Amino acid sequence: MRIREIIVSILSVILFAGLIISCNVRTGGEASAVGFEKDRKQASGTRQSIVVPPLPDSASFAGERMPLEYFDVRESLLREIETICYQHGSVIYIKQLEGRYKSLVDSILKEEGVPADFFYICVAESRLQPAVSPAGAAGYWQFLKGTAKRYGLEVNREVDQRYDWIKATHAACAYFKKAYSKYGSWTLAAASYNIGMANVDRRIKLQLLDNYYEMQFPQETSRYVFRAVAYRMILGNPEYYGFDIAPQFVFEPVKCRKVTVSGKINNWSVFARRNGSSFKMIKMCNEWIRSDKLTNRKRRKYEVFVPVDREYSEVRKL
């Protein structure tokens, strides 16, 4: 009988202890919830202010008016402005690269008689970087291999001129002028660069329209020109859209001298050393170099840009 009483006593103690622990856990949980709510309220003052960016009263591409009086056109442009505005790091880096490359591209566009707005097609295509798409389009203007060759660019294991700023920009201009001659519209010429002229021709025939803003396109093409215009607006007036980028943070063009190569290069690193540089810097200024050597059996001439100064000027130093 005594053993039974002892067992009952022990079980009672265990149950009582469990009840105390349970109460403490619940109380602690409630206290934590109260504390979390307090922390959340305190942190609310530091939250980022997300707003809808302003939309202009009027817009155009390559001198051709964008009909913002249509709700779908307004919404399409606003979507691209919103999307780009909140890609903060990307926009800052593109603005920095713009300082390095825009003057070069602008000079070629002017020489070729192509509107300056097409610079922002390049921005929309590659963000001014030596990119490669999942479909295999490559370089600053995102040429597919076959299209690049049709427009006179060399593409092989050692040389890929889709990554040559000068040659690729001239090739892109040749495409734009051909498309403009066909459609009589720079806007439709730009759209065709994204989807191809054959596809545009088929849609014109099916839809009985030849106006980009009236036509139905796949989503990527339907956003394409709006994206270029949005980039132009934001990069052209970054402060208005909330980007405060001091001049010293914008990249300068790299100072280079040209060296003509018409023969074989056994090792680009040796070439770089002989010219007072390094393979890293030679590659940075000549992304079209895709190997550590140049066989050059056809004895073609290549202009290689060799950087002459890696240091910022005193004005640019931080």
- Give residue 12's pLDDT: 53
Strand pairing class (59-61; 256-261): unpaired
**Segment among 42-56, 232-246, 256-270, 301-315 with least mean pLDDT:** 42-56
User: What is the residue extent of each domain of the chain?
Assistant: 59-249, 256-307
Average pLDDT (293-314) is 87
Alpha-carbon gap, residue 286 to 263, rounded angstroms: 17
- Give residue 45's pLDDT: 52
Alpha-carbon gap, residue 197 to 175, rounded angstroms: 10
Pick the more confident residue, 24 or 305: 305
**Segment among 48-62, 213-227, 295-309 with least mean pLDDT:** 48-62
Structure confidence at residue 206 as a pLDDT band (50, 70, 90): very high
Structure confidence at residue 5 as a pLDDT band (50, 70, 90): low
Residue 4 has pLDDT above 80, yes or no: no
Reported pTM? 0.83
Average pLDDT (182-190) is 98
Alpha-carbon gap, residue 160 to 149, rounded angstroms: 10
Q: Give the residue from 131, 139, 135, 193 showing the smallest Cα distance to 166.
A: 139
**Segment among 19-23, 145-149, 187-191 with least mean pLDDT:** 19-23
- Say if CB 187 and CB 226 are below 8 A apart: no
**Which helix (H) or strand (E) is 64 found in, with range?**
strand 64-66
86-121 pLDDT per residue, tens: 999 999 999 999 999 999 999 999 999 999 999 999
Pick the more confident residue, 312 or 38: 312
Structure tokens at 203: 């849609």
Strand pairing class (59-61; 64-66): antiparallel
29-72 pLDDT per residue, tens: 444 444 445 455 555 555 667 899 989 999 999 999 999 999 99
Q: Is 144 helix (H, G, I), strand (E, B) or coil?
A: coil
- Give residue 44's pLDDT: 54
Structure confidence at residue 216 as a pLDDT band (50, 70, 90): very high
- Give residue 26's pLDDT: 43
Please give the mean pLDDT across all residues of the chain. Answer: 88
Q: Residues of 200-233 as b/e, b for ≥16 C-beta within 10 angstroms?
A: beebeeeeeebebbebebeeebbbbbbbbbbbbb
Q: Looking at the structure, give the CATH architecture of the domain made up of residues 59-249.
A: Orthogonal Bundle (1.10)
Average pLDDT (71-84) is 97
Output phi, psi for 83, to 5 deg.
Answer: -60, -45
Average pLDDT (285-303) is 97
